[in-house]
Amino acid sequence: MDVTDSTFEQDVLERSRSTPVIVDFWAAWCGPCRALTPVLEQEVERRDGAVALAKVDVDANPALSSSYRVQGIPAVKGFRDGRVVTEFVGVRSPAGVAAFVDELLAPRRVSTLVDELRASGELPAVVAALQAGDVEQALDLLLDEIAGSSPERREWLRESAVAVFHDLGHDDPVTITYRRRLATALY
């Protein structure tokens, strides 16, 4: 579907709350964009409704391009829960596009983390915070665990925090703040 400045909120952000949406930022004059489009369309069609494809003409919708920091095209962004969770710029092979869609459709890393923590019985307060949707509390608890931990446990705690960052998206203010705090705690 073609999306504009006026339809983006509904067609992408709201829709991504129930179905992941791939947004292809493109332009009619862009040869690589024309090469990538059929690859994206084929991969989305192969997923039989599990993911939607939206196209944004950057020339006709410069405000969207600016707000999503599109600096080169084709720029492809995967949205889930109203935010970008994965992206790439340029042309990718069919296998590369399939891997991108797989990443977008993969179970949320936090869900996997919660399952692992529950199974191991570790960090019940982190599990409770994540289940309550309080990611900042969960991240605070993870960071508190780092001090005095063995190198192996520190790495495991780092990976746990990165799982939370991944699901929030790299531009989320919580991710930005806690990524810095994690680096400080680790190094």
- Return the active site residues: 30, 33
Structure tokens given for 137: 């509390």
| Contact assessment for residue 60 and residue 73, using Cβ atoms and an 8 Å cutoff | no
Of the candidates 83, 181, 106, 171, the residue with the CA atom closest to the CA atom of residue 136: 181
Rounded Cα–Cα distance for residues 23 and 151 (Å): 40
Element holding 33 (H helix, E strand):
helix 31-46
Judged by DSSP in three states, 79 sits in strand
